Every structure is written in structure tokens, then in C-alpha cells.
Amino acid sequence: AQSVAQPEDQVNVAEGNPLTVKCTYSVSGNPYLFWYVQYPNRGLQFLLKYITGDNLVKGSYGFEAEFNKSQTSFHLKKPSALVSDSALYFCAVRDPLYNFNKFYFGSGTKLNVKP
């Protein structure tokens, strides 16, 4: 079965420090992996994706994520957090072998960046 796990409901980090938001997944075939950010009362904004190729992908606003097939993980990272990064982050996976269009979302991780 397809699933995404974000083990941390909340991540707290000081501004200027590196941040990591964790994500692990389970799919039948090769996954298409995504990170989205949601600000209060808003829709989802695309950050980055992994489809194939280099395991380290770079996205919007200085975020990056590393695909680790052996650990079935796709953790989101940023070298230096900003207060404006505070938001709700969702990891998502699409399984092209099952239903190409369907997103499976994690439960979300609230990122709090303190000044």
C-alpha cells in the first residue's frame, strides 16, 4: 500500500540554523516524491520534486531534499532557516504503477523558526 509518514508533528529551529523535516514513504514501484508548503488559510505551494536522476534535488526558497532509496526517505533540508519559513510542510508521493495522478500526502509537519 502507498503511504507517506512524517514522524514529527512540529519542528522548532532558531533562525540561521539548519533545518530538517523528515519524510519516509512506501510505494509499489519507483516513487515520484514531492514537498509542498502551506501557509495559514492558503493552498499548497510546490517546493521541489524527485522523479529520477540526482538524489539531491534543489527547490524553491533555498530548500533541498535528498532521495534515499535504501531508507525510503526524502527529508527536506535548508542550510539556514528564516522566520518566514515558518509554515506547514507536506511530503507527498505519487506511485506511477498504481495511479499516476493520485497524491498520497503525509500528515504534515509544522515548522516553527524563532528569531
Partner 1 sequence: GAVVSQHPSRVICKSGTSVKIECRSLDFQATTMFWYRQFPKQSLMLMATSNEGSKATYEQGVEKDKFLINHASLTLSTLTVTSAHPEDSSFYICSARDSSVGFSGNTIYFGEGSWLTVV
Applying CB under 8 A, the residues found at the interface with partner 1 are 32, 34, 36, 41-46, 49, 51, 90, 94, 96, 100-103, 105-108
Residue 84 sits at φ, ψ, to 5 deg, of: -70, -10
Q: Nearest distance from residue 43's CB to partner 1, in Å? A: 4
- Residue closer to partner 1, measured from CB, 13 or 31: 31
Cβ neighbours around 37 below 10 Å, total: 21
Contacts of 101 (CB under 8 A, 6+ apart): 94
17 vs 60, beta carbon nearer partner 1: 60
Which of 22, 32 has the CB closer to partner 1? 32
Cβ pair 2, 95 in contact under 8 A: yes
